[in-house]
Structure formats: structure tokens, C-alpha cells
Chains A and B, each alone.
Chain A
Amino acid sequence: MEIIRLDNVSYYYKAYNDDGTVGSAVGVEGVTLSIEEGSFVALVGHNGCGKSTLAKLMNGLLIPKSGTVTVNGLNTADRDNIFEIRKNVGMVFQNPDNQMVASIVEEDVAFGPENLGVPQPEIVERVYEALEQVGMAEYAKSSPHRLSGGQKQRIAIAGALAIRPRVLVLDESTAMLDPLGRREVLDVAHKLNVGGMTVVLITHFMEEVLDCDSVVVMDNGHVVRVGTPGEIFEDSSLLGNVGLKAPRTIALAQKLADAGFDVPRDQRDAGKLGGDVCQSLKK
């Protein structure tokens, strides 16, 4: 079943020209996309390609200038639907520091349910369940600014989870983190996905795309390709055109395979790739 549907969606930003007149800049243009419930979708593209715009269109933070976005059958352009839509689509942004509304972890996570008017005992229940899901329950009483970037971002995810959404949109949520923090956040995202959550991961780190069900490649406001990670990485001319690169190990595996070695083209584990090469040489 599809949970989010974008139909020929365009969004333009107001932009000031050099002579001071107001023009417009393309955010996204003519995007048609469908996201299936329970899937793990990655949105990739280099900076300014419109992926964050697309994310903000998915929960009504932005309303399309033309075309329609529907979440679970509800049109985001209808203001009456907006809270129902945001209850369904949780969103986590890039900078963890700018998403914290309280100076104690549990109170920050409680912000969403408090807004929804959830009765007090259930808020506590939701907060601890959400913190449990991201593995941060022991930090419930801490102050977020003492935590690492990855931990803060997990708190932000817990904040979104406490609303009990069906879709989690991670808008470049790993961009500011160190590799360890990125790993933490991705592990949580995958665990949630296994539990049935639809995840939309927006990123420009191609390594993060490997485990996704499908990859949406964007360039200049347009969706240029939708496919499985394997398909996308095979198409090196496509990636080159939009300024992206396949992960190094995969690129190497592809080159080795092209050179006649008997290795899988989508081998992502450098150690295993080494083993494959040895096996192939022995033959």
C-alpha cells in the first residue's frame, strides 16, 4: 500500500535577482513519486538538488505550488489535514541542536505528545517507549547538550517516534555526524524499518544507500532515476551526471569484475572482496 504519493509536484522558492527584482528558484519540478508503506527509501543527490524541499513537502511544511502531495490519502494542501498528516509523518532534521525544545531529554521527547494533548500517564509511556526504541532510555534525565551528535540525533528520532508516526523522514540527519554517530542513527532507522516503519532517508553519503529498498536519484529539482541500489550503482554514467559516486568498495568490485575477476559486482565488504579476489586468483 502506498503511504505517500507525489503527483507532478513543483515548488519554487522566492529568489532575489542581482538587480533587486524578485524571481524564483526551482526547488523541485514535476516530481511524481510513490512511497510504499514499510519500505526503506533513500533520496540522494548533491547539494541544492531539491531533496530537502521534497522532504518538507511530505509533511506539509511546504505546500506545492502545483501538483498534489497526499499522505495516507490526505492532501497536504488542505490545512484541516495538516495535524493528521504530521501525526503520520515524523521528521528529523540535520542539526540536532536546533531541534531540541527542552533542556532535559525526556521533556524534549514529550514535546510531540504534549502538543497532541495526550493524557499525562500515556505521555510518560510513549516517551520511555520511544527512548527505548532508540536505545537512549538511560539518558532520560540528562541534558542533551552533553551528549554526542549521534546520541542527540537519536533523541530527535525519539521525539518524532513519540508521536507514533507511520513514516519517518530523515532529512540529512546524518550529515553533521561523525562516522560512529552516522552508524548509530542508521542502525536505529533500519531497526525501526524492520518493525514496520516506513523510512525515507535523505543523504549524500552513498554508503548509507546500500541497505535501502529503493533509491531515488535527484538532480536540479527533478527525479532522474528510481531503482534498487544495485541498479543505481551499475549506472556509472548516471551517477557521474548528477555528481555522485558509488561507494569505493562497490566501485572497486565493479572494476575488478570488469577486468575479469570472479567477484560479485555489488560486494560492499572490503574484507570479503579481498577474499573473493584471492579465490578468483586460485582458480
Chain B
Amino acid sequence: MFRDVSFGQYYPGSSFVHKMDPRIKLVLTLLFMVGIFFVQSFAVFAFVTVFLLAIIFIARLPLRSVLKSIKGIIVLLVLTSLLNIFFTKGVEGEEPLWAWRKIEIYVTGLKQAAKIFLRLVYLVMGSSVLTLTTTPVDLTHAVESLLKPLRVRKFPVHEFALIMSLTLSFIPSLIDETDRIIRAQKARGADFDTGGLIKRAKAFVPILIPLLVGGFRRAEELANAMNSRCYEGATKRTCMRVMKLTWRDFVGGFVVVAFFTGVFLLYGMANKWGNIIWLYY
């Protein structure tokens, strides 16, 4: 039942993007996500499209795997697009494109919807380039390393990262266990596939309870194992993994930063000189 759930969607490879430092990739992805919101015209969207496709090409990712990530937000996409189409009022003096009773559709609304649609799609595609080229473990290390400054403020950075990495490493065995419990309950005649919503929800109780109990047992054993290996929190702890910046990080970082500096500049220009038509529409 849960066999095909793969956590994290790492796509193994050794491309330029794969080899970049996860910290840099994380920061650049955040920059990308912020940058997308400063794209206002379709012309600039075209630039972003080319840029994103170029990154995907350099990362040697099959386009399909990147597009697959959109599946998860389809409902959101349809909903926001429809809302924008139907509820955006046209600019002054604009004739509705189509009207029926109180429902009016304006060209402005269609444009608005298309832009929101593109923004969301690029947002998800951009972040999936990160998760496709970076292992969950690397991401955890990147988060720990980037949050380190917060340690001064007593934020438990190490504990936070450890919880993340333990969660990641226990997911496969919890999935296995769930699978096993489901089969065991089925063998005793449990029925998960028929009946109404409430009946089905109830059928999951005999799965959740053993899973929870098992989880506590595992936690206890893990605590013993960690104690036996001299764990005592973050004090004096060292780390085997060293993250080093290479020329790739400087080149990649420079290109992305330069691109979005351009985007920000265009945004500023469009606001200042709204009459430069291609920047605004």
C-alpha cells in the first residue's frame, strides 16, 4: 500500500547543480521564490521561463520529473485561477469580455489569473529543482548550518536538525511497519475498502494504535542506543561532514543573483515609468 511512497524526491546525478553546496542552493532557492513575486509582466515571465529551463537542463533533470511536482498543487492552481478570473474587476472604462447576470469576466482578470498561475507553478518548480538535486540529509545539514547564528538567541539549532534527520531516517521503517500492521489486520478480517467515510476512518484506528505504541517502543530503544553512544546534546559536538564552497557555488550564485537583480531592477523601472508597456503587461 505504501510501497511506492518515496520520501524526498532526490534524483541522483552529478551535474553542476547537484554538486553545488546545499546551503547555497537553499539560499538561492529562497531568492528565486521571493524573486518570482517581483515579476510583473509576461515579457519578464518569458525570461524567467528560459532561465528556469536552462537550470533544469544544466541539472540534467528530466522535465517530466520537475513538472510532476505541480500535481500536488493542482487544486490550489485551479481555485486561485478561477477566483481571479471571476472576481477581478476591470480597469476603469474596460468593457467586460463576457457577462452573464452579475458574473463578468475582464481581460485584466484573465491576465491576473495567468500571472498567479505562472507564479505558483514556477514557485513549485523552482523548489523542486532544489529537492531533486539535493538529498534530504544534505538539506538537513544545510538548514542546521544556516540556522547556526540563531544559537546565540538560545534557539536549539542542533536539536532541531537532529529531529529532522531522525524523522527522515525513521520514515522507511515506519512505512514498513504500517504496511505490516495493515496486512496483519487484513488477515484478521479487517476491512479498509468498503463503507462510508466514517466507517473507513474508524477502520484506521486499529492501525494507528499499534503504530503509536510501536513508535514509543522505538523511541525508547533509540534513546538507549543514543545514550550508549555518548550522546549529550550539542555541547562540544563535532561533525563529520564538512561543507566547502567551490567555484561552482560562486558561479551559480553569481548567475542567479545577477538574474534576480535584473528582475528587481525591471520591477522598479516598471513602477517608475509605467508607460514602458512591455514591462507592465
Contacts and interface: CB of A to CB of B under 8 A. Distances in A.
17 contacts: A61-B228, A83-B230, A83-B232, A86-B230, A93-B221, A98-B173, A99-B225, A101-B222, A101-B225, A102-B165, A103-B168, A107-B241, A111-B226, A116-B230, A120-B240, A123-B240, A145-B172
Nearest to B219: A98
Contacts of A97: 173, 218
Given A98-B222, A101-B166, A124-B240, A115 B172 contact: no
A195 interface: no
B238 interface: yes
Nearest to B168: A103
Contact of B221 (A99, A104, A145, A159): A99
A257 to B, nearest CB: 43
B230 A103 contact: no
A114 B218 contact: no
A107 B137 contact: yes
B212 interface: no
Given A93-B225, A99-B225, A160-B229, A110 B240 contact: yes
B213 to A, nearest CB: 14
A114 B166 contact: no
A127 interface: yes
Interface string B226-256: 1111111000111111100000000000000
A99 B231 CA distance: 13
B169 interface: yes
Interface in A159-215: 159-160, 163
A231 to B, nearest CB: 32
Give the secondary structure class of A's interface: helix
B224 interface: yes
B90 interface: no
Interface of A: 56, 59, 61, 83, 86-87, 89-91, 93-95, 97-104, 106-108, 110-120, 123-124, 127, 143-145, 156, 159-160, 163
Contacts of B238: 113-114, 117-120, 123
Interface in B147-162: 162
A111 B137 contact: no
A91 B231 CA distance: 13
B136 interface: yes
Contacts of B173: 97-98, 145
Contacts of B136: 103
Nearest to B214: A98
Nearest to B240: A110
A107 B241 CA distance: 8
A93 B224 CA distance: 9
Given A61-B224, A101-B226, A160-B229, A114 B240 contact: yes
Nearest to A104: B137
Contacts of A117: 236-238
Contacts of B165: 101-103
A40 to B, nearest CB: 20
Contacts of A156: 225
A103 B169 contact: yes
Given A86-B227, A102-B137, A143-B172, 17 more contacts: A83-B232, A86-B228, A90-B228, A90-B229, A93-B225, A98-B218, A101-B162, A103-B165, A103-B168, A103-B169, A111-B231, A114-B239, A120-B240, A144-B169, A145-B172, A145-B173, A159-B229
A103 B221 contact: no
B240 A91 contact: no
Chain A CB within 10 Å, residue with most, of B137, B173, B228: B228
A82 to B, nearest CB: 9
Nearest to B235: A117
B137 to A, nearest CB: 6
Nearest to A127: B240
A199 to B, nearest CB: 15
A18 B222 CA distance: 30
Given A101-B169, A110-B240, A145-B172, A87 B230 contact: yes
A110 B229 CA distance: 10
B226 to A, nearest CB: 6
A221 B196 CA distance: 52
B172 to A, nearest CB: 4
Nearest to B172: A145
Nearest to A94: B221
B168 A160 contact: no
Nearest to A110: B240
Nearest to B222: A98
A115 B228 contact: no
A55 to B, nearest CB: 10
B210 to A, nearest CB: 16
A85 to B, nearest CB: 10
Contacts of B241: 107
B169 A111 contact: no
B185 to A, nearest CB: 21
